[in-house]
Structure 1
Amino acid sequence: MKNFFNHIELKFANLLSKISFMLLMVVGLLMVYFLFREVYNLVLLAFLSESEVHYYDILESILSFFIFFEFLTLIITSLRNKGHVSLIFLLSLGITSLIRLLLTYHERLVGVLLIASAILILIIGVFVLKKFVFPNDDTADYF
């Protein structure tokens, strides 16, 4: 009886793994669509007339493009490693996303300081992971 349940458990875990893989591929295709849509919008914005608002729209479009690109990279890394993504890669993704947010956020000094503090905490986290948790890990798949 125990053998039967182990067999069912293995089959069910295998099914869920395949469903997860397929859904990750669908999300990847959606990211490719949004990436190309952002490139299209960026090209359209590049040919509009000059204005200060136009500059911020172009900057926002460029930053959105790179965010979609990073998420696509995350999905590709996950698919290559059978669903596993390095924690350091995720932290570096958070750092770059917060840096992009910092580039566009200019409303309040407190908000800028909070974003900068979050970036510093994530950088410290990456340092601690590389120095103490994974000291012998020389793979560069997280950058």
Structure 2
Amino acid sequence: MKDYFNCIEEKMIKFLTKISFLSLIIVGLVIVYLLFREIYSLIILAMQPETGGNYYDSLKGILSFFIFFEFLTLIITSLRNRGHVSLIFLLSLGITSLIRLLLTYHEHLMGVMLISSAILLLIISVVILKKFIFPNDDTDEHL
């Protein structure tokens, strides 16, 4: 009876793993579509006459492009490593996202201070991980 349940467990794990990979591929394709859509909108924006608000729109578009690119890199890394993603890579993705938010957010000083504090906390976390958790690891596997 125990072998029967172990067999069912293994089949269920394989089935859920395949669904997970299929979902990652679908999300990756959606991100590729959004990436090209962002490139198209940046090209259209670059061809418009110069206006004051055009600068901030193009900055947001460029930063969004890089965020989509980072998420696509995350999905590719996850697919290559059979679903495993480095914690340092996830922290660096969070730092990148918060820097994008900081560059486009100018409304309240308290919000800017909170975003800056969050970036500092994530950077400290990456330094702690590299110094104490993976001190002798010279590979880029955790980057």
Q: If the TM-score is normalised by the length of the shorter chain, which range does it land in? A: over 0.9
2:24 match: secondary structure = helix
Report % sequence identity: 69
Distance 1:138 1:9 in 2: 37
Q: CA-to-partner distance for each residue in 1:63-104, whole Å, 9 max, x for gaps?
A: 111110000000000000000000000000001111111111
Contact 1:92 1:142 in 2 (8 A): no
Indicate the residue corresponding to 1:97 in structure 2: 97
**1:52 deviation in Å?**
1.0
1:78 aligns with 2:78: yes
The 3 A distance-change label for structure 1 pair 142 and 61 is: farther
Indicate the residue corresponding to 1:30 in structure 2: 30
Give the total of aligned pairs. Answer: 143
Distance 1:27 1:96 in 2: 20
Per the normalisation by structure 2, the TM-score is: 0.97
The 3 A distance-change label for structure 1 pair 68 and 142 is: farther
The amino acid that maps onto 1:133 is I
Aligned CA RMSD, in angstroms, stands at 0.9
Indicate the residue corresponding to 1:60 in structure 2: 60
Per the normalisation by structure 1, the TM-score is: 0.97
The amino acid that maps onto 2:55 is Y
Indicate the residue corresponding to 1:3 in structure 2: 3
Would you identify which runs of 4 or more consecutive aligned residues in structure 1 move more than 6 Å?
A: none
Structure 2: gaps (5+ residues): none
Structure 1: gaps (5+ residues): none
The 3 A distance-change label for structure 1 pair 139 and 118 is: same
**1:141 deviation in Å?**
4.0
Indicate the residue corresponding to 1:114 in structure 2: 114
